[in-house]
Amino acid sequence: MPGEISQTLDRGLRVLDVLAASPDGLTMTELAARMEVNRTIVHRLVATLEARALVRRDADGRLRVGLGVLRLGAAVQPVLRDLAVPVLRELAEAVGCTAHLTVVDGEEALALAVVEPSWTDFHVGYRVGSRHPLGQGAAGKAILLGRAGDPTPYVLTVGELQSGARGLAAPVLGVPGLEASVGIVTVDPGLDAEAVGPQVERAAAELTRRLS
């Protein structure tokens, strides 16, 4: 219930939210202004978060999200993977292509979960843990679409990560703090993007529903 919310904890989480949305960092004054909270209060919140390595202060005094957040994120990944696998399995079986969940890891796209179809004679082997630049390949480009608020439903690429391979991915939207995409990869030159695209989009929406 709203009356039971801890104001201090809520403000501390807001500090992380604001800093996460500010890749260039913020000064203490800028952070207080963004939060519309007294600078003294923000200073105490930041000091507490710094002690837990959740916030770091650069040499120029600008505040950024700290590396301690990576530890928390790593703990969430198995849960995210478990929720995604049934969705990916249904997608892979429906379209006959390798399906994957990709998340942001720094400036790279990271394959967090991969499911291959059971009934095809040949499919692309895409490994969990595979990485590539966000701006290269359908999975990363779909994440960038979601980040930019672009209404384009999905991205299709050809040969950007592997010669002859076709990738199609849709952003996972509406889950605070998560930048991810659901996609498929195939070497079939006859991939019908107009038929497969909406199925990938629906799979991304289903994952959003399961995470909400």
Please answer whether residues 191 and 158 qualify as being in contact, where contact means their C-beta atoms are separated by less than 8 angstroms.
no
Catalogue the long-range contacts made by 113-117 (C-beta closer than 8 Å, 24 or more residues apart). Answer: 113/80, 113/81, 113/84, 113/85, 113/88, 114/88, 115/85, 115/88, 115/89, 115/91, 116/92, 117/92, 117/93
The whole-number pLDDT of residue 1 equals 42
Report yes or no: 180 and 77 within 8 Å, Cβ to Cβ. no
Q: Which are the contacts of 37, defined by CB distance < 8 A and separation ≥ 6?
A: 11
Report the pLDDT value the prediction gives residue 209, as an integer from 0 to 100: 96
pLDDT on residue 23: 79
pLDDT < 50 regions, the chain: 1
pLDDT at 2: 53
Residue with tokens 């967090």: 112
Which pTM value belongs to this model? 0.75
The C-alpha R_g of the chain, in whole angstroms, comes to: 20
Give first-to-last CA distance, the chain, whole Å.
18
pLDDT of residue 3: 59
- Look at residue 70 in the predicted model and tell me its pLDDT: 72
Q: What pLDDT does 207 receive?
A: 97
Domains and CATH numbers, the chain: 2-66 (1.10.10.10), 70-211 (3.30.450.40)
Give the E-state strand segments of the chain in sequence order. 55-57, 63-65, 98-105, 108-115, 131-133, 155-158, 166-172, 180-186
| DSSP characters over 49-88 | HHHTTSEEE-TTS-EEE-THHHHHHHHHHHHHHHHHHHHH
